[in-house]
Amino acid sequence: MDDVLLKVNGSAVSGVGQMKTLLEKAKRGTSLKMKVMRNQEVQEFTCEIP
């Protein structure tokens, strides 16, 4: 199985719990820049908090 690295606003996320906390604490109107890295491929996207 390949390793997958998730970064939110430039900081690595260590697990689902940390990601859940980030989303819960995000304020309305916030946009989180995310980057997923796997097999030398990088996908970038933005999560908008309504």
* CA angle (31, 50, 19) in 5-degree steps: 55
pLDDT of residue 1: 57
Confidence (pTM): 0.73
Query: At residue 7, what is the residue type?
Result: K
Look at the chain and count its residues: 50
Q: Measure the CA–CA gap between 2 and 29, rounded to whole angstroms.
A: 34
Helix (H, G, I), strand (E, B) or coil at 34: strand
Digitized pLDDT (tens) for each residue of the chain, 50 residues in all: 578 899 999 999 999 999 999 989 999 999 999 999 999 899 999 999 98
Q: Where are the domains of the chain?
A: 4-48
